[in-house]
Chains A and B, each alone.
Chain A
């Protein structure tokens, strides 16, 4: 099966290559004309010295040479190539190859390379003189990660960005982002950053193909985000898609074939171990339950009678070892100076990890099977003098096949099943034994697979159109540097789901008996019925964005000024919104930057936004930010040296807002009544009883409600040292958010109504970030090392919370999402331990040796809810870091990214950690339970004493056993990405039109170092019922024509 797929894939590639080559070759041959030739040249520094060590590279390839001691080089080029000439400490130059055979390149020192720009809100700024806190990652770096979903390629690449992936299910595996941690009371969507794609707010970036991305930028401080006003408080992620480059059409085809596996899954015990634990539990409880007979234990251990004593490892029964993933992308970039285009088609096919069975009566698959198709056409055209049109047309279609049974249920069933039963025998689904059970009176489970198949499957289709058109008009004829622009963007997003429930799935029971061949026969356990059902659901929603702006940029001697004024509005139309009415937001933006001699920098940003959530008069918020910068190295008094070549200090202060609270809308409206809401029956039963509608007071309005306001300060430093080989960026930030929209916590229940959210909360958030990078070259061996580190810690300053008996019980004063629970110190090991136990407010009569030892924090002699103290952290890490390194040498490239997180805690409960509850399984680490023998032998004890029904254990405190024992330190360090690639550029290939070939081997999450052994450290807190995180091995081919 797997081999077949590989063959398909390979033949697919060959076919595609042939097609592309076939269609392009003639054109290519014509254009190429004379084919390739040798170009020689010299590279000098600005002081006319040979630029020793400079590299000359053909852009977009790894093909290049290093100049000799005199600065000379010779390189084989073909028409349309672009040379990239670089030397550390100097600005990289790009030179299109024309017909010339000899060139001279003069490199300028790049301590202040003003050409290098970075995308910011509503524009781009020079990286050298920017005063805000901004990070970026280039599309080509994103591509190094073989993840299916682009959101999973960003972890560890930028300071200030926390990325957490909570599921690995194909099509549902997007990471969630936070910028500089969480600054508000709500750890959900209300603290998620704003996502901007090509200048327009979009719901997510997960649908993008990594190949269409030019760069991903994050805006962190108020200076960078104030212009987003009421939506900018949580930071901004700006994705820019690729733009065509003038020149001959460059066709790039890439293909990746990967094998997905998973990082971690719980290891389940076998039937014999399960029996051991269960029987031991009955002994410990002293209850009159029936034990499994010793004979059963032996039979399961021997495994000599696999039908009578059959067992299943549910993890292995559901999950296979690996599943394929394929990606294809073809894009063409080119154009003239007047019209540039980038067009792309990408395809992803990702299969799920569920094992395929060939079963009687089942002709569908429940295995996730996800296909994504991306189309993009980005066109930039100069229409008439001064007028340019930019079109950004992106479209994504997805098709997914899934089980019609929730992922949570599938994984919950795995953990909630005893290991007994064959489940599948002779290609048939087995639901039990008929007549004589091998073990009578003990429960066995239904077949999980039966439940899974019985529910059928579903097809999810989505279509997303992200379209925008922008017209820019250069008003240079009025005054130099003045321009206006207008933009329209339209998003249309549709989801369509078909759910198919099959008729009866044939299932069988096993009848044991010596009279049958092999000692058993199978009889059908259910009646056929052909009542298959199909249900369909569809949703569609639309967003419209309009923007009009005027901008100005001009230099007057040493005075450099830019200005921007802009109006924008966004309307969203989604039937799922509260009131089913469209949603609107509008804003005005202003920005002025001033720069004296590239030495003293200043910027003022203004956002003025209105939100529908607030009453007229309170609807608009004004969000100013100021920032200053000073480039020390530009000062005449700063000695010219090679140690510090560039130093900038920058600082910003400003205010940004947030208007979201869940999905609630129009918070200012007067108290609403819900009618009809509930009801009551009157009348005489059987005669005239009738249901009468009732009405109920709904949310109480709050006319005073307004946006939450974040005050943010940032101080940063950018350094380039040792001739720019070493660079450092450090930022220190502090944020204080008040007016946080939150529910009242001190209104007594006796009022009997729910007051509308009010501007109640206050949260502070502080932290720092540092990035240190080293780039150098040893001959043709280029290498880099880079480390990023981010830390952010928040604190709830106020949240309208009643004063409690102990400060530590309150949320105020602690981090958002801080776990509170009991403190455990080991186990109750001895009789003395048991006698010295404090009282407990739960579990009367169940405390015994082997249970957890709970600490009576307040010393009142009772362990109760007053003893719950802050334990661990929250489930978003406070510290994230990444360390990447790589080299390239003669076409060989290597890149690796190690990424980690710490100060993070996960809380696993219920089936994730608690074994033996009715039909529940046990995991291998439960074998390390407390027993007297194991305690006396000094063995490592990993679990309290076993009960036959552990949910009754006082250690577990069903259903919420939040104590230190059940918390996991989810710190981890993982080999997030690794890539080894080889670039081939052969004259022979070029003769057939292929200029470059790149072969790569890469992987994601190949290694994970963590204290957690049963679940991946990025798991969602909870019951462990999620699709496991992927590990991917990938082989890729990229061909450039």
Chain B
């Protein structure tokens, strides 16, 4: 009997212990298909997905995201409330239709280091995961077996990754000036993660070095189905824009010329004017033009469009700035995935909450079709007949009508009809009263042949920019509009004329050549309207105090009801002050978020 009991006890103990072991295993994670770094760099499909992620993360995009339609990883602009606006909305080019749109936080509050997420146009944090992904890719791509990806292709992929890092730094350069140089995936093995800012010169050199490393390994073109990847032209464009910034007055100056007093001039200027920087900028721009001529990249002309030459609207400019994958585009953001990348939102989007309208300030840079200047109302609050407005608008140069939709008539470049044909009468969003609107008309750039699409590629580099980069730098270096660089394809004036001619305006006359810088300022305002250049151009020329700090003007359209029946209207328009904006000299540069400064690796930019 006792033996039985002992055996029973023994059994019980064994069962307990055995079950205990299996019990403990319930805490193990059951196997599931987890992907790790080793998985990613084990075959072509995974490795390519890591490369494409760099594109997704680092190619700049200027169209807003739809409200609430942010990408999952909250990269790009979505970390700031500015994600629902265009850069143009904080310049003198445009403003958002309605008050509460995010771009407006900058306009009413300026930049603020402390509440950065709300006020800023850019989020300091958003590019770094992409830069990390790029360096991780460069570090690990060799792990992929050669039979999956041959060596030569790996070399090219590394060059793409480097060019994309350079692109991200180029994008940050005018915003933050000098930056910490991150040249590997930060983390294990680093004594500190707190990488300090390098000097502005070192930052620029870092961008140029990455470009130089990438250029030899990149192709001029890709097969049609891989369009959108980084060609040799991309690092050339990065160099051109970077060197143009480096040569311009904001950076190319000594500490005594700084906008604001600052203990660290090495972070915001190149500590001395050097004229040779203009030559480098000119040559870099010319390199783009030379490369383009051999790589099948050229300006869109009327001949490129079906029925083009006879089209009175001179569609070439609209086509070049709107059509996806046209031959003038060197790099565009093609990262949209949902059914709406916010394009419609940012532009006019049935006049709902978030569209853009064009300011009176910027349209003064446009000319009439005959290249003479238009006279716009100067007396404020003077009621003028609406018909006069219509006349004036229709006198403007072709590019104007590809940018601005004259109120009260059909959009000049739409194929879509219906609700889109009139503004603001008859189809005002019922959430706003007429007085909520500013502007001389809705912005319709990027809308050539618009028929209701919600997705557009944001153009990062378009060939036309480099004609103007070349013209400006060459004229600055040689002091003459008729000069050209030793290898130059054009004189400065010829380069501008190419752009003007394509835009449907006569070439420069002698008087204009003599006042060439003014023409450059004007031509960039027109040709590159709303493409995200003006915010930087006015700063690098150090004229932002006037352009962004001055008073903004708008037109207003009034439709009065006579008596109690709504059958007869009187219509008039008037010029008035637009909503006042905040501008401070500190806004020449962006603040680093205070919480990042508090972490102890960044010296804050001046004025914050």
Contacts and interface: CB of A to CB of B under 8 A. Distances in A.
Interface in B13-40: 20, 23-24, 26-30, 32, 34-37, 39-40
Contact of B435 (A287, A683, A685): A287
Contacts of B227: 682-684, 689
Given A441-B433, A442-B433, A697-B136, A685 B72 contact: no
Given A442-B433, A586-B24, A952-B99, A748 B193 contact: yes
Contacts of B187: 751, 753
Interface stretch (A42-50, A218-226, A669-677): A669-677
B334 A680 contact: yes
A466 interface: no
B3 interface: no
B435 A865 contact: no
A922 to B, nearest CB: 18
Given A671-B37, A842-B108, A680 B52 contact: yes
Interface in A662-713: 666, 669-697
A619 B27 contact: yes
Interface residues of A, number: 85
Contacts of A683: 224-228
A682 B40 contact: no
Contacts of B53: 677-678, 680, 694-696
Nearest to A614: B27
Contact of A919 (B24, B114, B228, B431): B431
A680 B228 contact: yes
Nearest to B126: A749
Contacts of B108: 842-844, 846, 952
Contacts of B194: 748
Nearest to A609: B27
Interface stretch (A136-144, A178-186, A432-440, A724-732): A432-440
A937 interface: no
A960 interface: yes
B171 interface: no
Interface in A565-619: 567, 569, 571, 579-582, 584-586, 610-612, 616, 619
Interface stretch (B367-375, B498-506, B595-603): B595-603
B40 to A, nearest CB: 5
A866 interface: yes
Contacts of B73: 677-678, 696
B488 interface: no
A677 B564 CA distance: 58
A678 B49 CA distance: 9
A951 interface: yes
Interface size class of B (residues with CB under 8 A): 35 or more
A864 B114 contact: yes
A694 B129 contact: no
Contacts of A750: 128, 131, 180, 182, 186, 193, 195, 601
B32 A679 contact: no
Interface string B580-600: 101000000000011110111
A675 B112 contact: no
Q: Tell me whether chain A's interface is mostly helix, strand or loop, or mixed.
A: loop
Interface in A979-1036: none
A938 interface: no
Which among A436, A612, A696, A864 has the greatest number of chain B C-beta atoms within 10 A? A696
Contacts of B124: 749
Contacts of A557: none
Interface string B325-344: 10000000011110000000
A15 interface: no
Contacts of A752: 128-133, 182, 185-186
A612 B27 contact: yes
B473 to A, nearest CB: 32
20 contacts: A437-B566, A440-B561, A580-B32, A586-B27, A616-B28, A678-B337, A685-B324, A694-B50, A749-B128, A750-B195, A750-B601, A752-B185, A802-B595, A804-B594, A804-B598, A864-B112, A865-B115, A866-B114, A918-B432, A919-B431
Question: Which 9 A-B pairs give the minimum distances between C-beta atoms?
Answer: A752-B132, A865-B114, A802-B598, A752-B128, A685-B324, A694-B53, A695-B49, A749-B125, A584-B26
Given A436-B564, A680-B228, 18 more contacts: A584-B26, A670-B36, A672-B36, A673-B40, A677-B53, A679-B52, A680-B56, A694-B52, A694-B53, A695-B35, A696-B73, A750-B182, A751-B193, A803-B600, A804-B598, A805-B598, A918-B431, A918-B432
Interface of A: 287-290, 435-437, 440-443, 567, 569, 571, 579-582, 584-586, 610-612, 616, 619, 666, 669-697, 746-753, 802-805, 841-846, 864-866, 917-919, 949, 951-952, 958, 960
Interface of B: 20, 23-24, 26-30, 32, 34-37, 39-40, 46, 48-50, 52-53, 55-57, 59, 71-73, 99-100, 108-110, 112, 114-115, 118, 124-125, 128-133, 136, 180, 182, 185-187, 193-195, 224-229, 323-325, 334-337, 430-435, 457, 556, 561, 564-566, 576, 580, 582, 593-596, 598-601
